[in-house]
Amino acid sequence: MYRTPPLGIKILEVYRALFRVQLPDTLEAVRENLREWRAVHVVLSETLTTRRDISSSQMRDLLGAGIRPDGAPLEPGLGLEIDRIPGGTLVTLVPDAIKPKIAPEYGGWTYLPYLELRRRLAAFVGRALAAPPAPGASIAQALLASSRGTTVYAGSGSQTSAPDFARALAGVVKKEGRVTFFDSSFGFEAPAAGFQEHAERVFNMPGRKSDMLYFQDPWYAIFHRRGELRVAKLD
């Protein structure tokens, strides 16, 4: 389902005696690595002191509070280039609200925090599919083959038209709230009214090379990278 590259790894050493004074610089170094799509293992080095003026749990709490909302502690299921957590790691921080340099731009769409995207997708897949797709499998293929929901529009880009697609969406999109967009790697959101206004542009998006999913609670629209599409209401 996720085609996002696994997170690279950066090890950042901190020292108990210098931790408070160096915290702003430490957090900025973490942010720089999060933008590069890396997980940061913040590792405690005890070589400079045996003082205990700050505990490891306090250090962990300050790191977590200071990096929010840009980053967050590692959650299960996030892909890492190297799975092993180094000894002495206080916390592993991963990208969240911060937008990584590899994330694309889409006009009218706002980047969605990465962990929020994962939560929304998990909830959506629970409603739309009998079981989650295998890791790395096509979510579009699974949705096109799913018997759940009621299809209101289907076909391929070459056999259907942008106006027909827009009319199908007009019958299912909730006017209030926001629409979530998942481009197979990253997530974005936009006001539902703006999404409807630009539905034909969504249909005609040039250079589509990955599965693209748009959804609210009662409906979804899926584009397979080979051109098939489906708009469906969820029961």
Mean pLDDT of the chain: 92
Q: Are residues 41 and 115 in the same domain?
A: no
Shared domain for 76 and 171, answered yes or no, is: no
**Residue-level pLDDT at 47:** 65
Please give the residue range of the domain that contains residue 18.
Answer: 8-95
Percent over 90 (pLDDT), the chain: 80
Domain boundary, last residue among 95, 125, 151 = 95
Q: Rounded CA gap, 149 and 82, in Å?
A: 39
Same domain, 119 and 91: no
Separation of alpha carbons 84 and 158, rounded Å: 47
Tell me: do 116 and 219 sit in the same domain. Answer: yes
- Please state at what angle helix 56-67 crosses helix 19-35, rounded to 10 degrees: 50
Between CA 202 and CA 182 the distance in angstroms is 13
- Residues 141 and 59 grouped into a single domain: no
87 and 114 fall within a common domain: no
**Do residues 229 and 128 both lie within one domain?**
yes
Number of domains in the chain: 2
Distance CA 214, CA 220 (A): 6
Q: Are residues 222 and 115 in the same domain?
A: yes
pLDDT of 53 > 60? The answer is: yes
What pTM value is reported for the model?
Answer: 0.91
Structure confidence by residue, pLDDT tens digits, 8-32: 999 999 999 899 999 999 999 999 9
pLDDT, residue 159, reads 80
Share of the chain above pLDDT 70, in %: 97
Q: Which among 52, 70, 95 is the end of a domain? A: 95
Residue ending a domain, choose from 28, 61, 95: 95
Q: Which of 150, 137, 153 is nearest to 225 (CA)?
A: 137
Tell me whether residue 101 is in a domain: no
Enumerate the β-bridge partners of residue 230.
Answer: 154, 222
The maximal CA–CA distance of the chain, rounded, in angstroms, is 71
Q: Is 168 helix (H, G, I), strand (E, B) or coil?
A: helix
Residues pairing with 154 in the sheet: 230
| Structure confidence by residue, pLDDT tens digits, 79-91 | 999 999 999 999 9
pLDDT in tens, 146-158: 999 999 999 987 7
Beta strands in 96-197 (DSSP E): 110-111, 150-156, 178-182, 187-191
Mean pLDDT within 206-229? 91
How confident is residue 7, by pLDDT bands cut at 50, 70 and 90? very high
Quick one: average pLDDT of 160-185?
A: 93
Measure the CA–CA gap between 108 and 89, rounded to whole angstroms: 40
Residues 194 and 84 in one domain: no
- 118 and 80 in a common domain: no
Task: Report yes or no on 105 lying in a domain.
Answer: no
**In which element (H, E) is residue 35 found?**
helix 19-35
Q: What is the mean pLDDT of residues 127-156?
A: 89
CB–CB of 166/214 below 8 Å? no
Question: Which has more confidence, 98 or 210?
Answer: 98
The verdict on 118 and 229 lying in the same domain is: yes
Q: What is the pLDDT of residue 136?
A: 74
Residue 154, in any domain of the structure: yes
201 in a structural domain:
yes
pLDDT at 62: 98
**Do 116 and 225 fall within a single domain?**
yes
Residue 214 has pLDDT above 90, yes or no: yes
Non-local (6+) Cβ contacts of 224 within 8 A are: 138, 140, 141, 144, 211
According to the model, what pLDDT value does residue 225 have? 87
Length of the chain: 235
Phi, psi of 47 (to 5 degrees): -75, -20
